[in-house]
Chains A and B, each alone.
Chain A
Amino acid sequence: KNEVEQSPQNLTAQEGEFITINCSYSVGISALHWLQQHPGGGIVSLFMLSSGKKKHGRLIATINIQEKHSSLHITASHPRDSAVYICAARIQGAQKLVFGQGTRLTINP
């Protein structure tokens, strides 16, 4: 079992729908990152969280340290949001990130 698990692996929705992607981890972490990768493209860092909630435009990220769970929400989804979303956790005391498997999101017009 991976230390960082994402669900769902694939998600298809209609434009305008509210999207939720989940990330669970099984170890103590110092921070959790949400990343976005478009097809054939590089990685964009969306959020870095160690507690609470962050919002940027239509994107919201939350983390519950006690439950070892984080969610990424997209409001009023748009086809340009179609991408792979990856959560990555920095394990306490470690330098490197542990990555989830990614969630492939497709928003249809």
Chain B
Amino acid sequence: GAVVSQHPSRVICKSGTSVKIECRSLDFQATTMFWYRQFPKQSLMLMATSNEGSKATYEQGVEKDKFLINHASLTLSTLTVTSAHPEDSSFYICSARAVAGSEEQYFGPGTRLTVT
């Protein structure tokens, strides 16, 4: 099946610094990418949806200036957590859809962010 990778898989950073997480579709072109956040023992919470070449659409309550999303190419989307705080510590997962109208959606392995 199609593969989505994320880098890094784990990152620890200090409060106030920014962290970038990359999401790549390895063997297909992703017209739409989704960024999720998952707290322990909870389900995935959609943060934003990004379509290649256009601005991301953020879900209610998600600060777009804090969680910067760039979907500059059909195989790469990045999530930058700016001025990170301990409460941003979480598991971040990206997901990608291949073509508009396709129901197939592939998930990345996730990135565990710890802010100290």
Contacts and interface: CB of A to CB of B under 8 A. Distances in A.
A25 interface: no
B13 interface: no
Counting chain A residues whose Cβ lies within 8 A of the other chain, the interface size class is 20 to 34
Interface in B13-54: 32, 34, 43-44, 46, 49
A11 B52 CA distance: 40
B46 A96 contact: yes
Contact of B105 (A41, A42, A45, A86): A45
B106 interface: yes
A50 interface: yes
Contacts of A45: 1, 105-107
Given A42-B93, A43-B93, A43-B110, A99 B43 contact: yes
Contact of B43 (A44, A50, A100): A100
Given A48-B103, A48-B104, A95-B32, A42 B110 contact: yes
A44 B32 CA distance: 18
Contacts of B34: 96-97
A100 B93 CA distance: 16
Most buried by B among A35, A43, A50, A90: A43
Interface residues of B, number: 20
Given A41-B110, A45-B1, A96-B49, A33 B43 contact: no
Contacts of A41: 109-110
B105 to A, nearest CB: 7
Contacts of B97: 95
A30 B101 CA distance: 10
Given A45-B1, A86-B43, A31 B107 contact: no
Interface of A: 30-31, 33, 35, 40-45, 48, 50, 86, 90, 95-97, 99-102
